[in-house]
Chain A
């Protein structure tokens, strides 16, 4: 037990850290490929510019959502987004674990990005290598938007945005420190396992909040109650784990699933 944090906060912290870790690893791979092949100055400039945009989006988006939406509507909208997002991850993880989809390969991504960076023509604008800047900016912004989405949805629904942001920052710091230490793509991270766990967590919280949020259409506009209150999170979680394991078992291809499991 982490001192000073209750069980809910620890759950929130772990969920956001795991969800963010996958995106941070993908961002790190792109930045590493650009930095090594095109130089760190332009790469870090692109990443820094994207980070500024992300901070603005988080601050404006978080403020607007809290100020403008009633609680039940927020639960419905955020829960639904979280659910469809989580189900995409869960779908990928189920198909990969069954051997029906290829595992994500950070080494291959690194090779492709590095090769593209070597072939690209050099065009310098204000002393910055434009190719490295744009690729780093886009990579950081697109993957970062997913992290912003995770932080906002988890943080707002749990009523603890700072804790969610802390989870994402901790995740980024850990990946960065490990990445700098080994100075190569983090290909040993069990990405499919993390994606599976995160898919389950996103789908569980998404189901719980989206269904609660349906109460916004009732006469009182109060959240819909689950039998057992927040204990329902537990049986929703068990349901998603059970259905995903059954799907993997039904779809499994013996010859390829051994490597993917």
Chain B
């Protein structure tokens, strides 16, 4: 059991890291992008829009973490 926990922790640290909000944000934006394609609404604008969403879900948690450490 100890090895299973250690294995799980290793992969969690490896993929999610210090701030789970970023990983969850990335997953949410990609799922939203996939939903738009599935709804047949995709176009040339979709890739840049999803890209901007990814930038946003990175910037907000980092700002939050930074301000938390500074205060």
Shortest distance from the beta carbon of B63 to any chain A beta carbon, whole Å = 7
Q: How many residues of A contact B (CB 8 A)?
A: 43
How would you classify the secondary structure of chain A's contact residues: helix, strand, loop or mixed?
helix
A residues with a Cβ closer than 8 A to B are 76, 80-81, 83-85, 87-88, 90-92, 94-95, 98, 100-101, 142, 145-146, 149, 203, 207, 210-212, 214-215, 217-218, 224-227, 232, 236, 239-240, 243, 246-247, 250-251, 253
Q: Judging by beta carbons under 8 Å apart, are A243 and B42 in contact?
A: no
Contact B51 A239, beta carbon cutoff 8 Å? yes
Chain A contacts for B38, CB-based, 8 A? 217
> In the bound complex, what is the Cα–Cα distance between A239 and B36 (angstroms)?
23
Contact (Cβ within 8 A) A91 B62: yes
Residues of A within 8 A of B23 (CB): 84
Interface 0/1 of B30-66, CB less than 8 Å to A: 1001100110001010111011101100110111011
Query: Do B54 and A217 touch across chains, with their CB atoms under 8 A apart?
Result: no
* Residue in contact with A214 in the complex, picked from B22, B26, B50, CB distance below 8 Å: B50
CB distance from B55 to the nearest CB of A (A): 5
Given contacts A95-B66, A251-B67, 10 further A-B contacts (CB under 8 A): A84-B23, A87-B26, A88-B17, A92-B18, A100-B66, A211-B30, A211-B51, A214-B46, A214-B50, A232-B47
Contact B63 A247 (CB under 8 A): yes
Q: Is B5 in the interface zone, CB < 8 Å from A?
A: no
**B68's closest neighbor in chain A, by CB?**
A100
CB pair A243 B51 closer than 8 Å: no
CA distance A240 to B62 in the complex (A): 13
Given contacts A88-B22, A91-B18, A224-B46, A215 and B62 within 8 Å (CB-CB): no
Residues of B within 8 A of A (CB): 10, 14-19, 22-23, 26-27, 30, 33-34, 37-38, 42, 44, 46-48, 50-52, 54-55, 58-59, 61-63, 65-67, 69-70
| Closest A residue by C-beta to B17 | A88
> What's the nearest-Cβ distance from chain B to residue A100, in Å?
4
Given contacts A95-B69, A146-B14, A217-B34, contact A224 B42 (CB under 8 A): yes
Query: Given that A224-B47, A236-B51 are contacting pairs, would A251 and B15 also be in contact in the complex, using a CB cutoff of 8 Å?
Result: no
B44 touches A227 (CB 8 A): yes
Query: Are A84 and B15 within 8 A (Cβ)?
Result: yes
- Nearest first, the 6 closest Cβ-Cβ pairs linking A and B are A88-B17, A251-B66, A226-B47, A100-B69, A217-B34, A214-B33
**Quick check: B44 and A225 within 8 Å, CB to CB?**
yes
Q: Which of A80, A101, A225, A227 contacts B26 (CB 8 A)?
A: A80
* Distance in angstroms between the alpha carbons of A162 and B51 in the assembled complex: 29
A251 and B70 in contact, given A81-B15, A88-B18, A224-B46 (Cβ under 8 angstroms) = yes
User: Please, which residues of chain A bring their CB within 8 A of the CB of B44?
Assistant: 225, 227
26 of the cross-chain contacts (CB-CB < 8 Å) are A76-B30, A84-B17, A87-B26, A88-B18, A88-B22, A91-B18, A91-B65, A95-B62, A100-B69, A101-B69, A149-B14, A207-B54, A210-B26, A211-B33, A214-B46, A217-B34, A224-B46, A225-B47, A226-B47, A232-B47, A236-B51, A239-B51, A247-B62, A247-B63, A247-B66, A251-B70
